[in-house]
Every structure is written in structure tokens, then in C-alpha cells.
């Protein structure tokens, strides 16, 4: 069981996704930090020190989420923090040919929409590893 009260930074340019995901995670006892762009997410990462990142792959640009991951990996204080990438890209199509673990360096890559119980399961799983 993961200690509740952990901080989760949600980085996504879709306000509805951020709000609904935040509600799901708050209901499970997590503290939520919202960011609506990669730049804002990286700024809040420094000021808020989250325990977990949930990052959209495609925001203003198609690879903005991967750029956020790269920036997090470059910094020693965020390199080992868990990351979940969430995307609306069809993960069973051409995307499946990419070496996802190496390419994105995330603990999990999930396809939107993610059922609330599934999201909570992945969050618990990744936070219990760290």
C-alpha cells in the first residue's frame, strides 16, 4: 500500500483531462499539482517537488511530453522520479513498433481514456516501487 498524500503533477494541455484526473487522484488521497503545458510542468516540478509525474505526450507539439521527460531525466533531483505517460495515440498501431521503455523512459505508457480504477492501480504500482 502506498502512503497517501503523495504529490502528483499532472501535465496536460487539456483542462478537462487535468481536472477529472485530479478528482480521481484526490479521491484516493493524493495531493494534485496541475500544469497545462510542458513549460509550466517543469516550473512546477522545481517549486513543488512532486513524487510522481503524469504527462501527456502530445500537447502544443506532438513531442512536448517526451521533451518534458528528457528535461526531468537531465536533472539529478528528478531523474529517478516515477513517470506515467498518457496519450491519445493508438498504442496498438504503428506506435507499438517504437521501443517505448527506452524512447520515453517512463514507468508506464497508457492510452486515453484510462478507466479511473486502472489509473489508480498504475499510480499505486509505480509509487510502491520507489
Domains of the chain and CATH, by start: 7-129 (3.40.50.2300)
For strands 31-35 and 83-87, give the pairing: unpaired
Question: The whole model's pTM is what?
Answer: 0.89
Query: Of 18-22, 45-49, 66-70, where does mean pLDDT reach its minimum?
Result: 66-70
Residue 105's pLDDT is 85
Backbone angles phi, psi at 38, to 5 degrees: -60, -40
What distance in Å separates the CA atoms of residue 28 and residue 45, rounded to the nearest whole number? 21
The C-alpha cell of 99 is what?
521501443
| 58 pLDDT above the threshold of 70 | yes
Amino acid at each position: 500500500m502506498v502512503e497517501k498524500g503523495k504529490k502528483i503533477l499532472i501535465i496536460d494541455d487539456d483542462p478537462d483531462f487535468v481536472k477529472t484526473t485530479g478528482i480521481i487522484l484526490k479521491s484516493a488521497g493524493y495531493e494534485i499539482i496541475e500544469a497545462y503545458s510542458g513549460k509550466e510542468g517543469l516550473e512546477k516540478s522545481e517549486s513543488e517537488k512532486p513524487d510522481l509525474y503524469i504527462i501527456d505526450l502530445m500537447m502544443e507539439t506532438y513531442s512536448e511530453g517526451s521533451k518534458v521527460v528528457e528535461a526531468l531525466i537531465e536533472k539529478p533531483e528528478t531523474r529517478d522520479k516515477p513517470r506515467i505517460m498518457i496519450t491519445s495515440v493508438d498504442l496498438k498501431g504503428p506506435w507499438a513498433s517504437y521501443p517505448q521503455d527506452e524512447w520515453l523512459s517512463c514507468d508506464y505508457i497508457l492510452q486515453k481514456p484510462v478507466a479511473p480504477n486502472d489509473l489508480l492501480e498504475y499510480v499505486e504500482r509505480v509509487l510502491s516501487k520507489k
